Amino acid sequence: MVTVQRMRGPTARLKVHLAWDISFWVAVAFVVGSACWICNGHLLYTPISPTPSPPHANAAAWLAFAGGTAFEIGAYLAYVESLPINTGHEDLYQEFHEHQANLTGDGKGVPGVSVKEEAVELKKTRQRSRWIGTGSLRDIGFLASAVQLFAASVFWISTLTGLPNVIPTLAEKNTPVSVVLFWKPQVIGGTGFMVASVLLMLEEQKKWWRISPLRIGWQVAFWNLVGAIGFTLCGALGYAAVASSKANYQSILSTFWGSWAFMIGSVIQLWETLWREDSKSSSMANAPSPNDKDTPVQKEQSSNDGHAD
């Protein structure tokens, strides 16, 4: 019902120029990464399922690398989006949309401002954006994005060392090299994902102890938290995966259901970026119209009020 209301609302708009919306590409990166991890979990699970199939360890390893790389890209873009100088990316999209409307003759433009001047202002807005920088640690959104980027970077190490022949004895026995470069980055990265998800949930809540399940951002953070728990358990159980078949079974399953949780959160985030209300329409709707004129009754009432004073 909420979806229908937003899509049919007078200010709802499908973002056609998605290349200008960094939130969209953050969601796309996490959707692609989640899809890779789901396929990875499926390939790892089928050989140990009740009806086993031939193993595809090499394919699973490359899918994990692709998924980890996509998560790294998504985390970096989310960090860029959280920088204080880039927090107005929605206004950038709005200006671009209005500029395109003026060029095609679909918009009324800004009174007293030419299309060329609008293009110059749009260029200045784009130049204000940054791809690297720092923010305040008091900003919970920036802090969550920084933690998420750190976690994704550490987690990516395990996807690199998990590629075929990088650690030759990885599937046979646990060695100090495999523990430090494969399993430990999964635990540290997964824990970082959990911390980032909790911070994002707190950002959506009016009070730290009162959850907000009806807010889209809270739902995204919640499902990311579930996925992060799954990825952390995968690494934690992996320490005993070589010696214990039960630990190996649960480690693989943790990756599988954790990937689906990440996918749910990513799809919700992607839907939010595709449909969003025009932030300027509501403020313009409440502004007084220059064509509005006082009626004779209103004028008389104003005159009486003035004499009363």
Residue 162 dihedral angles phi and psi, to the nearest 5°: -85, -5
SS3 of 153, please?
Answer: helix
Is residue 106 helix, strand or coil? coil
Instruction: List, in sequence order, every residue forming a beta bridge with 14; answer none if it has no partner.
Output: 275
User: Are 81 and 22 within 8 A, CB to CB?
Assistant: yes
**Burial of 282 per CB tally in 10 Å (0-12, 13-18, 19+):** exposed
Q: Tens-digit pLDDT profile for the chain (309 aa)?
A: 333 344 444 454 555 556 668 899 999 999 999 999 999 999 999 999 888 889 999 999 999 999 999 999 999 999 999 988 766 444 444 444 455 555 555 444 444 445 455 555 555 555 456 788 888 888 999 999 999 999 999 999 999 999 999 999 888 888 899 999 999 999 999 999 999 999 999 999 999 999 999 999 999 999 999 999 999 999 999 999 888 999 999 999 999 999 999 999 999 999 988 876 544 444 444 444 444 444 444 544 455 554 444
Percentage, residues of the chain above pLDDT 70: 68
**What pLDDT sits at residue 267?**
97
**Extents of the domains making up the chain:** 2-83+133-279, 89-129
Amino acid at 162: G
